[in-house]
Chains A and B, each alone.
Chain A
Amino acid sequence: MRLTRLIVERFGSVRKARVEFGRGLNVLYGPNDLGKSTLAQAIRAALLLPPGSSAYESFVEWGTDETPKVELVFQVEPGGRYWRIRKEFGSGAAAQAILHGSADDQTWTQEAKGRKVDGEVRKLLSWGIPEPGGRGGTRGLPESFLTSVLLAPQTDPAAIFNSSIDEDADESGKKLLTHALQALAQDPLLKLALDEAQRRIDEAYTAHGVKKRGRTSPFKVAADAIASAIKEHEQRLEDLNQTQAVETAIEKLNEERLFAEEAREEAVRDLRELEAAFKQQAERRGLAEKLGEARQALAVIEQAREEVRVGAADESRLVQELERAEARVSAAEKSAAAVEERLGQARDELRRLSSGDAARERELARKTLETELLQLQAERTAAADLTRRARAVGDLEQEAEAAKKKIAAATTRSSALRASAEKLQERKEQAEHLREQLAGLALYELWQRARTEARESREAQGEARKLRAQIAELRRGEQEAGTGRRPLPAPEELKALRSLNQQAIEAEARLGGGLSATVRVKRPLNIKVSLDGGPAKLHSGVKLRRSFEAESSMVLDLGGVAEIELSAGEADAREKVEKLRARWERQGVPALKAAGVRSFAKLEDACREAEEARRESAETERRIEELERRVAGLDGLASQAAEVAARVKNREQALAPYDRDALEVLAARLGPDRDADVELLRRDAGLQATQADAERDVAARELAGLEAELKSLTDGLAGIESRRLAAVGELGDAAWEPAASRMTELDGRQAQLTRQLEALGSGQDDAVERAGRVVQGAEAELTTAGAAVKAAVEAKETALRALSAARGELRVRRERAEALDLEGARLAVTRLEAELQATESSDPEVSDEDLDDARERLDLANRTADDRRDQIQKLWGALEQVGGEVAHERERMAAEAVTRAREREAELDLDYGAWRLLHETLREVESEESVHLGRALVQPISERFARLTGGRYGSIDFEPSLKTKGIQAGGDTRNVDALSCGLRDQLATLFRLSVAEHLESLLVLDDQLAQTDPRRVEWFGQVLRDCAERIQIVLLTCRPREFLTEDEIALPGTTVRDSASGMLRAVDLEQVVDRAPLDSR
């Protein structure tokens, strides 16, 4: 503490004075009775005396009623804030006090007024003086160990030696001194450690242990770096998020594009396949047509061949006919020759008959001829019959052969038609079967659906059971949670309680902390104490004294005789606290009790937990509701189980006629557009059936015709055969050809014989006539034979012509047939059949509609792929702006910078935290091992005293409470009372000086060392000058030259003189003190 300025008005013997203090040694000198001690008193009064205290009366200027006034400006810490106390002492309203604060001793702000001023000042000083009105308060000038040491009036040293800090009414002085003296008592290494730790702590933390946030704070620097890095990172992250969002969108669209392109490829593939199938179909049709044509060509060739064969047969037949005609010509010619011969003979006969002997000869000849004619006629009849029968057999054989051929052809065609009809029937059946299956498909699907529903229904039952169990579990949990809940205030109520609690805390804080009471008893006494409203505690048989401390209130029951109630703070503040306490009792305490907690913080925790529980409960309720909804849905589903099972059964029955496996296969064949597929199949099957039916009818009709024809042919053949057999039977072994020629021969002979006979029959004339007739007959026969020859020749020529024509025809046919490549035609048919077979496919037929559908699908896929590509293109536009890898890279760098900044902050935290921990630990240990205060002063005081006394005295003993015990001298400990007055004064001064030094506080020495010899005074002067380097000393003396040289004395007519170093100030009080006139005193 340092004084800056003192202004006094009407204070004791001083009417007016103004002293400006230097920061080191201030020697205020003046003659006796000038008012030096009054100034010292004024300092004490300014700092310690409440303005309304009756003690002021001793300072009232004598003979006047004017109120004393004093103004004191001081600093508690060097370089710290300036404080200005203005007090006007008096009674009642005349007493005034005001405390101002300033950073520069220029601009002042009011800090306290009235009665609060002393409280504030005493807190600032921490000299062990309780606040006015508090415990240990006195009505006059308060005293404590430190006020005695630092501001002691001209009193005897014994007051210093016997002063004990334990007797202070307030602990602040002891704490201050303990803190200072502990440092004094410290080991240098401990001090070094503490200082270093403190230095580091001061770098980083405020006095309240909070991290410094000022510009120079390392935490501030680190926090700024983190904030800056985070800001940068957030910005980069935002860029990156945009980038990633676009990239993700592009990725998604790319997937979609790939899908679309796959779909497009698939559509292209499908279309190509369909087109290929369509093309193949067309090719197959072409092949079939070509095959038909090839077969037709082959048939033509075969027909031509057949025609050649038939032609050849015709030729053979015609050759035979020709041969026969030639034979007949030959026979006719022979016959004509025979007739001609006979004609010659007849003419000879005629000529002979026209002679003598002819009649006998004619008779004989007639008889011979008649016999021969009879034989010949018989033979001829037989031969004619044989010839007829042989011809009939030949005709029948030819007829039978033709019939057989027709039958064979009809049979082949019939077989082909049957096979075709069977195939067509099969096709029809297949188509009908498919249609039936398709009809059953719907049933199958319904059955499947019903089965699925049945399964779902069963699963729903299971699921519903599980959900019910879950609901029950949740409800149980909810119930259990609800059971343990205690009633808690509603949020509004809690808010009001929070406000009330806060008000109470603030109000209690305003009361100021700390009550201390010391009860000194004169006989053993039971004391019951209640601290801060807590339960009363009994202290039995208290002897001597007992101290109690409380924060804000204290009730002391002294042996049941008296009860003392002490409360901190001013009356209105206390009243406010009481009111708030009462409100708290009314409103807060019941809420706490209801909630089963002891403090508002716990209540808030409980409310938070309750809120959390309420949220959880609401969540549970929501889940239960959701589960119940699901259960309801599932129940609905489950309730249909029986109905669904019945449906399954019905559908199974309905499905009985159908092959389920086939239906399953059929169902699997269906594409996504099932109805269209079914319709397509149904239509196709119908078409197939109808077509097969129509074709089969055609075949059947043809077959029926063929069958009838075949039957007719067979019957015909049978007739022919039987006739042929009969004719053959009749014919026996006879050959037709010899019979025919024999017949011709017999006919000729018969005619000859007839004519001979006729010639013989009529006698000579007759014979001649007959001979003439024979001749005529022969001539007619010859004519007939000639006609026969002619006819035979004509027949032969006809046959020859027919043969020539047939041969010509045959040649043409052969040429034509040879021009046709039968083998080639066969190979072509075989090849085409193979090709057709190779191109045969079980795939369904592809229609134009199918192709249109495929094209439409491709178009859709193209549009989708193009759309995705366009969208990707647009997003690329966005990505180009936001960054790609640049954004990633910048985000990585920014993230790394944040990490590094955080690491640096963590390292700072650790390092400074460790310094703080070290400091705390050192302090804890030091405190636990604390030395008593007096020991700390032994060394500095003893050393100085030894130097002062030339080593005559050893160390000085102090009690823990700093009361002086004795001094080592001559090997013994002696009481200080045994020392001379001067020496005690000097020792007391050294004691005060040491304490002030360690407190770094002001020391007021009022005319001390009056009984000290000049040499020691000089020594003291030097000690004071040394000490004044560290503390402010105000020395009031009437002997300035004992402490000042001539050069340091204020020049005549001036009030103040400062040394060059500024550490010494001489103040001529005669120049600054306006002394009250003597008569007024």
Chain B
Amino acid sequence: MKEPEDDEVALKLLHTADWHLGRKFGDFDEADALKLTRARLDVIRRVLDLGRQHAVDAVLCAGDLFDQEVPDSLWWEGLVRCLADRPSPHCPVILLPGNHDPLVRTSVYYEGHPFRRALPADVHVVDRDDFSLPIGDEAVVYATPCRSRAGASDPAMSLPERAPGDDRIRIGLAHGQTFDMKKCTVDFPIDPAATKKRGLDYLAIGDTHSFREIAIDGAGPTVYPGAPEATTFDEPDAGHVALVFFARKGRRALVRRQRVAQWTWRQETVRDPTALRTLADTQDLKQTVLRLTVEMSVSLEEMSEVERILLELKGTEAALGRAGIMQCKRDGLRLDMTGVDSSFVDVPDVLRATVARLKQREAAGEGELARRALYHLYRVVQGGASRT
């Protein structure tokens, strides 16, 4: 979509949501989990910088900005630094409590929390049900916060209707799930036609981590920008913010999806060594969170190569991996026992006898253990005993 010229634009907004600052990634190795957790704060700087580059009139942050309502001080202090250090010119930033970080008495958003005191003056927290903030003379933002982790009321429908004669650009800001989504009934259901019913030119919402635009004929769009950094592998359109332009003429919202994520989450399954080699050799995976499933039956030599490649992808204490972050499921990696003997031709008798004994054990029910032991022996014989 072509960005309108500045003089054609009545209002520019940056709409983001679902930062989930402080989220832990317990299913990853500690170091990788840390990278992912840190990335959630790093991306905020890029988001704010993008807003500055586009000289937006306001930054709307549509909830779930923290992973929980009482985050560790590291996270709210980090966010305060991001907001305070952002380069000029500044525009208003509106922070909305979502269902992960609802506005409760103990919440980081609650009046009196050090986070609130530390926020720059142009950062506004939606701490009232009838929150509104004019953006210049031509626009106004209405918002309502989540006050609990679950709720059955439609936050968008609680926004005020357009008053007769009010020809300003009306923006709604809310957090919840549109009716078409599973579980929407408990997670603040949002009527996709709320823009029409409430006379809104744009409804900025958060909750779903993938970018999504819901258009209703004759009404402004409802948009999920998604999480700026994905949190799982099943969020295909995560990693974006929405840049929203309102043309002077017609005042119709033009929405542009802008990628800001550092990490690309990707799941791959390789079923032969060639596919693994291709993946490792031909693709730049530095910024990829890779979930690799290995399902193949290989010879000892191939196993050694597969292990080497996996190690190169994953990295070691001494060297960064070729993949930024890797989670490997290797239950399907099997040693093909056919021809194992040929890998131990020039070894002492005692080792050959050991191989034979391990083969017997493999056949007698100690399959996986015996296969792995054979692989260890093979690696020792090959002089490369220092596998992971």
Contacts and interface: CB of A to CB of B under 8 A. Distances in A.
Interface in B103-158: 147-152
Contacts of A917: 358, 361, 366, 369-370, 373
Nearest to B147: A880
A929 B99 CA distance: 69
B376 A913 contact: no
B187 interface: yes
B146 to A, nearest CB: 9
Nearest to A876: B152
B375 A921 contact: no
A193 B377 contact: yes
A881 B380 CA distance: 57
B167 interface: no
Interface string A911-922: 101110110011
Interface stretch (A520-528, A827-835, A883-891, A1030-1038): A883-891
A184 to B, nearest CB: 14
Given A880-B150, A884-B149, A193 B380 contact: yes
B369 A247 contact: no
B351 A190 contact: yes
B347 interface: yes
Contacts of B327: 900
A196 interface: yes
A897 interface: yes
Contacts of B275: none
B217 interface: no
Interface residues of B, number: 44
B358 A921 contact: yes
Contacts of B372: 910-911, 913-914
B322 to A, nearest CB: 21
A187 interface: yes
Contacts of A913: 369, 372
Contact of B376 (A880, A882, A888, A915): A915
Nearest to B150: A884
A900 B99 contact: no
Contacts of A899: 27
Given A917-B366, A921-B358, A192 B385 contact: yes
B348 interface: yes
Interface residues of A, number: 46
A903 B293 CA distance: 13
B357 A929 contact: no
Nearest to B146: A880
B150 A886 contact: yes
Interface string B312-344: 000000000000000101110000000000000
B351 A885 contact: no
A775 interface: no
A876 B152 CA distance: 8
A883 B150 contact: yes
Contacts of A247: 186
A193 B383 CA distance: 10
A909 B366 CA distance: 13
Interface class of chain A by DSSP: helix
A232 B349 CA distance: 51
A884 B385 contact: no
Given A189-B381, A193-B380, A884 B349 contact: no
A918 B350 CA distance: 12
Contacts of A915: 373, 376
Contacts of B330: 907
Contacts of B361: 917, 921
Contacts of A903: 329, 331
Interface string A851-878: 0000000000000000000000000100
Contact of A885 (B152, B183, B348, B381): B183
A881 B148 contact: yes
A893 interface: yes
A192 B380 contact: yes
A925 B353 contact: yes
A928 B350 CA distance: 9
Nearest to A239: B149
Nearest to A193: B380
Contacts of B349: 929
Contacts of B376: 196-197, 200, 914-915, 918
Contact of A884 (B183, B347, B371): B183
Of the candidates B148, B150, B329, the one having the most CB atoms from chain A within 10 angstroms of its own CB is B150
Of the candidates A187, A886, A917, A928, the one having the most CB atoms from chain B within 10 angstroms of its own CB is A886
Contacts of B147: 880
B250 interface: no
Given A888-B183, A915-B373, A900 B354 contact: no
A288 to B, nearest CB: 52
Contacts of A924: 357
A605 to B, nearest CB: 24
A787 interface: no
A918 B373 contact: yes
Interface in A365-397: none
A467 interface: no
Contact of B26 (A190, A192, A894, A907): A894
B354 A925 contact: yes
A248 to B, nearest CB: 12
Contacts of B28: 900
A879 interface: yes
A926 B376 CA distance: 17
B40 interface: no
Given A187-B348, A918-B358, A880 B148 contact: yes
Contacts of B385: 192, 196
B187 A885 contact: yes
A187 B380 CA distance: 13
B51 to A, nearest CB: 28
A229 B372 CA distance: 27
A884 B186 contact: yes
Contacts of B348: 187, 189-190
B8 interface: no
Contact of B27 (A192, A900, A918, A928): A900
B368 interface: yes
Contacts of B15: none
B52 interface: no
A810 to B, nearest CB: 76
B337 to A, nearest CB: 14
A879 B188 CA distance: 12
B279 to A, nearest CB: 21
B377 A918 contact: yes
Contacts of B388: 911
A887 B149 contact: yes
A896 interface: yes
Given A922-B350, A922-B354, A886 B369 contact: no
Contacts of A888: 183
Contacts of B357: 921, 924-925
A885 B99 contact: yes
A921 B354 contact: yes
A190 B354 CA distance: 10
A888 B99 CA distance: 12
Nearest to B100: A886
Contacts of B24: 893
A883 B380 CA distance: 53
A911 B379 CA distance: 13
A211 to B, nearest CB: 15
B335 to A, nearest CB: 11
25 contacts: A189-B381, A190-B351, A192-B385, A193-B351, A193-B354, A247-B186, A876-B152, A881-B149, A884-B150, A884-B186, A885-B183, A887-B149, A893-B26, A893-B27, A900-B28, A901-B26, A907-B330, A910-B369, A914-B375, A917-B366, A917-B369, A918-B354, A918-B376, A921-B358, A925-B354
Interface of B: 24, 26-28, 99-100, 147-152, 177, 183, 186-187, 327, 329-331, 347-351, 353-354, 357-358, 361, 366, 368-373, 375-377, 380-381, 385, 388
4 tightest A-B CB contacts, nearest first: A884-B150, A897-B26, A880-B148, A914-B372
